[in-house]
Structure 1
Amino acid sequence: MLFWRHGRTAWNVENRFQGQTDIELDRVGHAQAERAGKVLAKLGPDVIVASDLRRAADTAGYLSRACGVGVEYDKGLRERYGGSWEGLTGKELSARWPERHARMDIPDGEHVCEVGDRVVAAVDRALARTPSGGLVVVVSHGAAVRAGIARMLGISDEQREVLGPLSNCCWSVLQTRRGRWRLMEHNAANLPEPVVLSDDA
């Protein structure tokens, strides 16, 4: 399966906390999504599921048009709700909530464990509609994707920062091995190279 983060928005450029505020892609974001959609179409996805927020939904649309697979929308893939942080810049958040911002502990927002739970539930729903051996592409948001991947890999919420950020319109690839998820690619912008799943002997 493949997690794909949406293209750039004006708030990404301004380093504003987007959360569930419904921000559109900017001109660069549309270009990023069009290019990446054409690349990912070569993988032949069987299912495309996306957050219903416009920046993710519009990003998914480029892949859909490139490969002919319709997009399904799942609110479980929305970004982490940021409460009073939404719309504020990183500098503003550090000034008002220095300790909380350092920990990404949003006083009136969604806890990261809740985000991980709902993303995994959305992934499970998508996988249930994916044929055996098929590929599902999940189009979502930076924090939501990292929370979901961490949960799928068994990484605790306290250790989630071991997963680096996901850039706009980049993706991560997970595969199963002996019933467990493995992270095969992270923050990629090119097609994944074929990897022989071995014991790394």
Structure 2
Amino acid sequence: MSRRVVCWRHGQTLWNVEHRFQGHTDIPLDETGVAQARRAASLLAALRPSMIVSSDLRRAADTAAALAEITGLEVILDKDLRERGGGEWEGLTREQIAAGWPREYASWEAPGGELVTDVADRVSAAIRRWAAKLDDDGLLVIASHGAALRLGIARTLGLPEDLWSALGGLSNCSWSVLEEGSKGWRLLEHNAGTLPEPISSDDLPQAAEDRA
């Protein structure tokens, strides 16, 4: 048995470009994001996925649709794959957040938002739930969001919370690959699909730090 899961971040949105916290706000892909999704889909289709599951937010669902168009698979929507809820920060830039909530910014805990542990739990549970439906040697593609995927991957791998920051962020339309074997889950690839580039995400500043 060797089930694999491709954890695929959605393409670029205008709010990514403006460094705004998106959270559960339903922002569409911009023109660049649509092109990114088509390019990445052409690469992922070569892996012959068995199933495509996506966050129900349209930036992820439309990214997944680009792969569905090539493979002929349907896209299954699961709201448990949504981005981390940003509470009062949704729609605000990092500069606005830092100015208005300096203490909360330092810990990256949005007033009214989700705790990182809750996000890690729900996304990891979704990954495991859908992976369990695969046949042996099947491949699941999950289209989701930067912070949600990084946290879900960390939880699925069984990393202690104080080591979650060891996983860097995901660039738009890049992906990570998990494999389930006889000894549990392991990380085969991380942030694959592009050359290193700046990351704009709802993830904590250290994980989403620009790499110019």
Normalised by the size of structure 1, how large is the TM-score? Answer: 0.91
The alpha-carbon deviation at position 159 of structure 1 amounts to 2.6
4+ residue runs of structure 1 moved beyond 3 angstroms?
A: none
Confirm or deny that 1:91 pairs with 2:95. yes
Q: Counterparts of 2:154 and 2:106 in 1: how far apart (Å)?
A: 19
Letter in 2 for 1:120: S
Which of the numbers 35, 42, 48 marks the counterpart of 1:44? 48
Q: How many pairs does the alignment contain?
A: 190
Unpaired runs of at least 5, structure 2: 195-212
Aligned match of 1:197: none
The alpha-carbon deviation at position 103 of structure 1 amounts to 1.9
Letter in 1 for 2:96: E
Asked if 2 retains the 8 angstrom alpha-carbon contact of 1:47 and 1:129, the reply is: no
Confirm or deny that 1:62 pairs with 2:66. yes
Asked if 2 retains the 8 angstrom alpha-carbon contact of 1:112 and 1:157, the reply is: no
Aligned match of 2:206: none
Could you list the per-position Cα deviations for residues 101-123 of structure 1 after superposition, in whole angstroms to 9, with x for gaps in the alignment? 12211221111111111111211
Q: Counterparts of 1:144 and 1:157 in 2: how far apart (Å)?
A: 14
Aligned match of 2:192: 188
Secondary structure of 2:47's aligned partner: coil
Which residues in structure 2 correspond to 1:140-151 (within 5 Å)? 140-151=144-155
Q: Counterparts of 1:44 and 1:168 in 2: how far apart (Å)?
A: 22
The alpha-carbon deviation at position 186 of structure 1 amounts to 0.6
CA RMSD, 1 decimal: 1.1
Unpaired runs of at least 5, structure 1: 191-201
Greater Cα offset, 25-34 or 64-73? 64-73
Q: Counterparts of 1:93 and 1:173 in 2: how far apart (Å)?
A: 32
The alpha-carbon deviation at position 13 of structure 1 amounts to 0.1
Q: Counterparts of 1:16 and 1:157 in 2: how far apart (Å)?
A: 26
Greater Cα offset, 72-81 or 118-127? 118-127
Could you list the per-position Cα deviations for residues 59-79 of structure 1 after superposition, in whole angstroms to 9, with x for gaps in the alignment? 000001111111101010000
* Aligned-residue identity in percent: 55
Which residues in structure 2 correspond to 1:38-187 (within 5 Å)? 38-187=42-191
Letter in 1 for 2:68: S
The alpha-carbon deviation at position 125 of structure 1 amounts to 2.2
Q: Counterparts of 1:36 and 1:172 in 2: how far apart (Å)?
A: 12
Q: Counterparts of 2:124 and 2:180 in 1: how far apart (Å)?
A: 15
Normalised by the size of structure 2, how large is the TM-score? Answer: 0.87
